[in-house]
Chains A and B, each alone.
Chain A
Amino acid sequence: MTDTATAPPAARTVPPPRATAARRSSAWLSAHPRFRLAFLLTAPLFWLVVVYIVALALLLVTAFWQVDSFTGEIITEWTLDNIITVVTGALYQTVTLRTVGIALLVTLIDVLIALPIAFYMAKVASPRAQRLLVIAVLMPLWASYLVKAYAWRAVLSQEGILEWILAPFGLHTPGYGLTATVITLSYLWLPYVILPIYAGLERVPDSLLEASADLGGKSWRTLGSVVLPLAFPAIIAGTIFAFSLSLGDYITVNIVGGTNQMLGNLVYTNVGAANNLPLAAAIALIPIVIIFGYLALVRRTGALNNL
């Protein structure tokens, strides 16, 4: 360092960098932005399109194929049988209604629980408490999905803590069944609903709430006319997670649902034990259609930008 500082300021020429392969490719790419973009996009797009989009499209195609009942091999002949079975079969109708009902109920419960806690986190708690609350909400998100479902199996069991707490009041645990499924699913997806709603409420400026109060708006009026409309897209974003995740679940209902089945169970049995992939694919189309329908319905609210 000291050498260069004391040396007389001479006009030094910097030798041009050696024309290595890296240097040449770099110069060429700088001059050709389209190829730069192609270089960045090729690998990830190849992966996503080949592994994911093609797989999804082929799932759609497979739903129109059938299985040879003797050999168990898939015959690539076009048939509407699977679709007709799924649309008209009483079993599929019952299970679809049950699954959608559970998903809607879980979504509603999660929003009702998430609103007060998210509001407290965003608008009432001190900055320090806010940070701690975010961690407290995030922590169970990191705990394993199975661990949480299993924990509810322990809580709801006939000999579990809930029975122990409720028994003195003459009440009983719901045991394993649909109620238990709804409770457990609501519990599992709650952090996914709280976080977007919290983020949405944080973005509502305090000045608007003060303006509403200055104009004579009572707390409830401010909530209904200012806070909720502004936070609406965030609330919808939260419902997408709860709804979509509930619709495809089959493991929770296995753990706490007793003998009840959801759509996921039917897909799972047909992939595994029954070895009928085309029928499984046809059943899987039900949640796909419902979710795309839901996404199309809420697209206008701008919720998709809040995910």
Chain B
Amino acid sequence: MRLSRLSRTVLGVVTGLILLVVYLPLFVVLVNSFSTSTSLSWPPPGFTLEWWGKAFQSAGALEAVATSVGIAVVATVISLALGTLISLALQRFEFFGRDAISLLIILPIALPGIITGIALNNFFRTIMGVPLSIWTVVIAHATFCIVTVFNNVIARLRRTGTNLEEASADLGAGIWTTFRLVTFPQLRSALLAGALLAFALSFDEIIVTTFTAGSGVTTLPIFILNNMFRPNQAPIVSVIAVVLVIVSIVPIYLAQRLSGSEQTRR
């Protein structure tokens, strides 16, 4: 299709405008974190570093970060193990019910979080009689994190094929040795990419967490939600928000590099 110069320019301008609107709210939060106003008023009446200092001394915020990191790490480890196993099964074997299983894996993120949340809440409290705790959150998070690991690992398995594994077996290596020395090294960067996504998904999850967290469990999203409407805490929430966006650049950069190195290797 030969687009005229004009329509190319128009498309470019529209794209630019959309990106501008996408970044405007994040910019407002950045500025608000330095504002002397506690009521989100614009333009800021003055600038201060007070909130930044307070945020880094807020025991509640720091504890919430620690809780969130702990939950995300355990959920990621579980989903790495389960996701790798199930992608090996679905990619290396043909069997009845394979399509049903791949649907089953994506269901926890295809259905809205509130359904996963209430189903698990009902399952733990009413059916099993287990009180909600930090572990019920971990179980819930691991369930919907499996899919990110699965997607990355199965894509890699599809591309690498089985030649090297067969060669390894021909040379006398057993199943475990082949996995340790051939399959796992081939999967390593896919596992890292899947783990990053799983970690991010768990770290940011609020709806399922609300339904499965015990009363004493405060993850960072729960902390943010609890403090958002308190006038004196709102600027601290802005600070946390800015820090989160900045920190999230690291996984984007890593994920981009991982997929970049894949392209050159092919």
Contact = CB atoms under 8 A, between A and B. Distances in A.
Contacts of A210: 1
Contact of A145 (B121, B126, B204): B204
A291 B111 contact: yes
Given A116-B15, A121-B15, A43 B85 contact: yes
A120 interface: yes
Contacts of B2: 213, 219
Contact of B110 (A45, A140, A240, A255): A240
Given A17-B172, A113-B18, A144 B221 contact: yes
B1 A209 contact: yes
Interface in B1-49: 1-4, 7-8, 11-12, 14-15, 18-19, 21-26, 28-29, 32, 39-43
Interface residues of B, number: 89
A29 B92 CA distance: 14
B249 A284 contact: no
Interface string A37-59: 10011011101110111111011
A43 B81 contact: yes
A133 interface: yes
Nearest to B35: A154
Contact of B41 (A120, A159, A209): A159
Given A45-B86, A150-B29, A219 B3 contact: yes
Contact of B245 (A147, A163, A244): A147
In the complex, which range does the number of interface residues on chain A fall in?
Answer: 35 or more
> Shortest 3 CB-CB distances between A and B: which pairs?
A248-B112, A26-B174, A151-B25
27 contacts: A23-B174, A26-B174, A36-B175, A37-B89, A40-B86, A41-B85, A58-B126, A124-B11, A136-B19, A136-B22, A142-B245, A144-B248, A147-B241, A152-B25, A154-B40, A154-B238, A155-B24, A155-B25, A164-B43, A187-B25, A227-B1, A250-B207, A251-B225, A255-B228, A277-B121, A281-B118, A307-B106
Interface of B: 1-4, 7-8, 11-12, 14-15, 18-19, 21-26, 28-29, 32, 39-43, 81-83, 85-86, 88-89, 92-93, 95, 101, 104-108, 110-116, 118-123, 125-127, 139, 142-143, 146, 169, 172, 174-177, 200, 204, 206-207, 210-211, 221, 224-225, 228, 237-238, 240-241, 244-245, 248-249, 251-252, 256
Interface of A: 17, 22-23, 25-27, 29-30, 33, 36-37, 40-41, 43-45, 47-49, 51-56, 58-59, 62, 74, 113, 116-117, 119-121, 123-124, 133, 135-140, 142-148, 150-155, 157, 159-161, 163-164, 187, 190, 209-210, 212-213, 217, 219, 222-223, 226-227, 240, 244-245, 247-251, 255, 264, 267-268, 271, 277, 280-281, 284, 287-288, 291, 295, 307
